[in-house]
Amino acid sequence: MLFNSFVFLFAFLPVALLTHWLAERFRPEWRLPLLAVLSFVFYGYWDWRFIPLLAASILVNWLVAQAFMRSGRGVLIPAAIAANLIVLAIFKYFNFFADLANLIPGLHAPRYDIALPLGISFFSFHHIMYLTDLKAGKAPRYDLVRYALYIGFFPQVLAGPLVRWSEIMHQFDERPYERSDAAERFARGLMLLVVGLAKKVFIGDQLAAYVNPIFQAADAGNAVSFVEAWQAALGFTFQIYFDFSGYTDMALGLALLFGIVLPQNFDSPYRSVSLQDFWRRWHMTLSRFLRDYLYIAMGGNRRGLAIQLGALFATMTLGGLWHGAGLTFVAWGAAHGAGLALGVLWRKAGLRMPVLVGWALTFAFVLLTWVLFRATTFEGALRIYEGLFGLGSFGAGFKWRAIAIAAAVAVIGPTAWAFVHKLPPRRWIAVLFAILFVIVLFKIGDDANYEFIYFQF
């Protein structure tokens, strides 16, 4: 079920909150098993056939962790990590690699239409983070219920944020509603949920209506005008931000309702003055994962400049492939890897750049590479680029108001987390948020309910 759906907001969430409060109040020992069950119900609502995969994934990885702690056999952890990657490859990349193989003359690799389980990339990476830290002696042993909740906690199981065990496991043992700030946490959680819904419904979905038809036309082989191309490129640049950051705000808010603080995932990325700065602000938990579990493992900046540049390029290229089983995603990741590598060389040379120039170049680079991310084919991306650089007709009807509002909020406004936590506890603020929530509900009922972009990854 979608966070921005009536079945979630008026059925699942109220029941989950009520039963969680009752368990925490009268049977604290039931709280974590209840949250785990609720998470499986939430996940299984999409497709009950995905539940066995999630359950088996949790059980097998937990058993491997237990066996490693008992025996100390180092081979168990790499084998489990490899198994996680193989399962991910089968479900997400089988046809991608089959298509690559079929480019070789004489080969005829079969293709299978396998349903992609929602969130498989995210919960696979959670397994990998825990197992890697367990082998390094950083992570302790956990019981099955806590481990299942770490992997499947419903606010973050489908699209993150990517949460390290050290950021969340200790919170499971707290009594959240007995804290002195319990009421404030709950209130700010509700506010984050409403802000995230508003960002998704009023900005992200509005931009989707202006962006999707243009990219679909480009992928279908139609020419794209200058105005259409800039509307699509600028629109998607802000659509993906409000769609994904809106989901993250909702996830953080929902977690707060249940007494859990999840890590932030966005920090005004379109204010970045360099590409390195952008990746410190965009999808921050993924950036940390790629840095700590790929880039550093490849040598990072400890083995010379050539290794550092190669590790950056390889890390970002793999990061692009993680986003989707398509060569356009690989090209998007490779472009960011090359851009980050150029940034390293620039800094090594001791060169400087005015802040405004750095911001403009960074924003332009990110915007242009988002075209590769959004287009489903290189041909479609090429038609958008042709339009952007004025190689077709000029066109008319640029939807500037929606884009201007989105740009102002994204570049000038604070993050939702900072905004909500700076608000004083006032009754009139609560009334305003209640009114905003009602308006959002009318909008949800009136318009198409777009899924979140990152659910496909």
307 contacts: CB under 8 Å, gap ≥ 6: 298, 299, 300
At 369, the amino acid letter reads T
Cβ contacts of 114 within 8 Å, gap of 6 or more? 90, 91, 94, 95
Annotated active-site residue 20? The verdict is: no
Distance in angstroms (rounded) separating the CA atoms of residues 353 and 346: 10
| Helix or strand holding residue 198 (H, E) | helix 182-198
Catalytically annotated residue among 127, 283, 323, 336: 323
Report which of 242, 294, 261 is spatially closest to residue 163, judged by C-alpha positions.
261
Rg (CA), the chain: 23
Q: Hey, CA dihedral for 290, 284, 138, 57, is it positive or negative?
A: negative
Are 381 and 372 in contact, with CB atoms under 8 Å apart?
yes
Contact yes or no for 131/80 (Cβ under 8 A): yes
- How far, in Å, CA of 183 to CA of 204, rounded? 30
Length of the chain: 457
> How far apart, in whole angstroms, are the C-alpha atoms of residue 144 and residue 255?
20
> Which DSSP string corresponds to 48-62?
GGGHHHHHHHHHHHH
Residue 305's identity, in one-letter code, is L
Residue 208 CB partners (closer than 8 Å, separation 6+): 239, 243, 450
Say which residue the tokens 């489990």 belong to: 80
Cβ atoms of 139 and 26 within 8 Å: the answer is: no
Phi, psi torsion values for 159, nearest 5 degrees: -145, 30
CA 349 to centroid of chain Cα atoms? 34
Instruction: Give the DSSP letter string of 380-430.
Output: HHHHHHHHHTT-S-------HHHHHHHHHHHHTSPPHHHHHHHS---HHHH
Active site residues: 323
